[in-house]
Structure formats: C-alpha cells, structure tokens
Amino acid sequence: MPADARAAVLRAFGAPHDIETVSLRDPGQGEVLVRISAAGICHSDVGQADGEWDFPLPGVLGHEGAGVVERIGPGVTGVSAGDNVILNLAPGCGICRHCLDGRPIRCQASLAAMAAGRLTTGPSPICLGRQQVATYSLLSCFAERAVVAERSVIPVPDGIPAEVGALIGCAVITGVGAAIETLKVPSGSRGAVIGAGGVGLSAILGARLAGAASVVAVDPAAGRRAAALELGATGAFNAADEARNRQLRDAGPAEGFDWSIVTVGRPEAIRLGIESIRPGGTACIVGLAPQNTPVPVDMLDLVTYERTVVGSAYGSASPHALIPRLAGLYLAGQLPLDRLITDRFPLEQIDEAFARSREAAGLRCVLNVSGDASRP
C-alpha cells in the first residue's frame, strides 16, 4: 500500500522549503522503500535550491542519506526489511559499459533519469495529491521515506550511526575517493586541498591515510582551517589572502604541489588548484561550478608544464565496493567521521541548515529526519 511521509518540498528556486505530507507509491520491480534516518546538507543541494543547475520543480532534494529498509518490491534479493543502508546516488543501469566497468556514476541512462527527476527503475514515486513531485539525484533524502532502486541502497553494519552513514554516502566517498581512487595519492607526496568543508576534510583524511607527507588546506573560514589541521593537514591558508595565493601560483612551475584536490566550484579556486601544482602534477576537480560557468585556464602553461587536470565524481569507483570499505575504516577508527558533523537540525529547520551551509559556518550539517540519527 502507498506510504505517506513528511518531506521538504522545493517549489521555486531561491524560495524556502515547504514541509508537507507527500504520498509515495509502492516499491515496484527492483525497488525498495527506505525510512530515512539522517540526511546531510551538501553544498550541491544548496546550489540546486538556489537554481545553479536546471531541475524540474516541485521537487524533494537531498542526496546524502542513510536509513532502514521498510519494504522491498518484486525481484529484490540484495536487501531485506530491517537492513541498515546508506543511500547511493550512482546506481547505474547495471548493463552499460560504464556500469560493467564498475563506474556507474558515468552511466548515461542513470544521468538522464537524474536530470528528469525520476528513478532509473521508473517514474518519480513522489506525489502531492495528483501532482507528481521530482525526485532529486535518484533519492530525495529530505523526506521521512523514499522509494529508490535496489541498486541505490548499500547495506552497512549496525555499528554505523545513521548521521555518519549519510556523510559516507556523499561527502566522504567523494573526498576520500578523490584522494585514494582518482589520484591514488603517492606515499610521501605533497598536496593541497582547496575548500575544507565536509568533502575537503574527507579528502585530507584520505590523503593522509594514503601516506601523503604534507597536505595544505586552503579555505576562507578560520574554523574550517583549524578543523583541517586537527584532522591531519600540515598547513592551512586563508583562501582570501591574495598575497599567499600569488605565492602558491608563483611557486607552481618550480616547486609546486604534486597534486591538488579542488572541492569548491568557484573558478578562482579551480585556477589556483591548477596553477599551484608542479610540472607533471595533477589537479583533481571535485567541486561543481554553476551551470555554464567558464573557468579560464592558461593552456600554454598547461601544455608546457605537462600538468594534468582530471574530474572526480563520487569517488571514481563502484559505490558498492567503496562505501563498505569506508564504513570498515570508520569502524576501525581510521576515519574519525563523527568530527565532521558540527550542526544537527530536525527536518522542519532545513532552511536554517541551508543558511549555515551558505555561510560556510561549521563543517557539515545533518538533518535528523526520523529517530535518533546519532545512534548506531
């Protein structure tokens, strides 16, 4: 039978969310119904709410979540009711060359469904009366319940708090994955992480885990720079310090960083990430710039210095392989992910959480959607 759920509905870009009761259709073939326990506030959600990218409205945002399977649809064999799961925004179609290569984030069928506000397995499951509501990133975590594809849920051990699981589902897989999968940070190397929010701090943790000798964090917020140093950065600079940025650029050709990870989508940050690496170095771009935003790059320097610029999406690996690995590292005490969470809000205060994110206040905000998200 269909399920009801309170959800944060976005009706217009730049407008506050409306907390409303929506209806969810029964999970269909290859789908599951999940009770959402916790949802993280990612800057991509904020950018989408502000209209930085096209998306059909009304919609329910949220793509960083964790919860418990309540019901399964026909043909589901990988999970059962009662399983604790992390939600995965890259389920893929399962049969294209990208999915078969273990890179479902590249799946074109999945990306088309995402852009249309539906699931890979069928239409959006969310309705307000007779009006269909778009599903964001194949998930829509800013709601008490979600119907998603079976491939969009990954079981995790009971010892993972839901709020930590939510962060693993986006910030952590993206940041740690950029370091250990995309760049495969070499032991003893020197690097910079530009942007020290949830993704940037995860990248620092990943780089240090890989054996980087030094990692410099660049961020305008003093609190985030301090957190970066506490979590393993060996230096931290104010992104608004133009003199320091100029020094990093000037040092690039002779003694720049071996690699950089750029976790913010501002053109000036992306340029700094490219220009501060040494000849032969690699700049890994994770942050999403607003749609149709150009980034000027000096192609003469890029070619002459043989620098590499690479995009990294969702950890550059199969989520079904990487997410359980990250969960295991957390349980082993090697990824102190609890320290990334500085603000907790109920679903009704989602706009306050968005305001914190816009102001770059704190580190990561988490919505306690249903139950106690901080308990395993």
**Domains along the chain?**
3-169+316-368 (3.90.180.10), 184-311 (3.40.50.720)
Q: Token digits for 65? A: 């979540």
pLDDT digits (tens, 9 = 90+) for 76-122: 999 999 999 999 999 999 999 999 999 999 999 999 999 999 999 99
| 31-40 and 364-368 beta bridge pairing | antiparallel
Q: Which residues of the chain have pLDDT under 50?
A: none
Torsions phi, psi for 23 (to 5 deg): -110, 140
Q: Where are the alpha helices (DSSP H) in the chain?
A: 43-49, 97-100, 108-116, 162-167, 173-177, 198-210, 222-230, 242-255, 267-275, 299-304, 319-331, 350-358
Which residues have C-beta within 8 Å of that of residue 2, sequence separation ≥ 6?
Answer: 23, 24, 25, 26
Residue of 62, 63, 79 lying closest to 71 (CA atoms):
79
| 85 vs 151: CA distance, rounded Å | 11
State residue 162's pLDDT score: 97
Quote the pLDDT of residue 374: 67
Angle between helices 222-230 and 198-210 (to 10 degrees): 20
CA distances for 124 relative to 34, 60, 135, 287, angstroms: 15, 10, 6, 27
Instruction: Choose among 49, 45, 60, 64: nearest CA to 8.
Output: 60
What is the predicted pLDDT for the residue at 361? 86
3-state secondary structure of 123: coil
Cα separation, 214 vs 60, in Å, equals 40
Q: Report the alpha-carbon distance of residue 296 to residue 91 in Å, rounded.
A: 33
Q: Distance between alpha carbon 273 and the CA centroid of its chain, in Å?
A: 20
The sheet carrying 214-218 orders its strands as: 235-237, 214-218, 190-194, 257-262, 277-285, 308-311
Cα-based distances in Å from 192 to 16, 109, 145, 225, 320:
36, 34, 39, 13, 28
Phi, psi of 154, rounded to the nearest 5 degrees: -130, 115
Residue with tokens 């931290």: 236
CA distance 16 to 38: 20
User: By C-alpha distance, which of 133, 305, 348, 336 is closest to 231?
Assistant: 336
pLDDT of residue 371: 67
Bridge-based pairing state of the strands 65-72 and 31-40: antiparallel
Distance of CA 115 to the CA centre of its chain: 17
Token look-up 């939600």 returns: 87
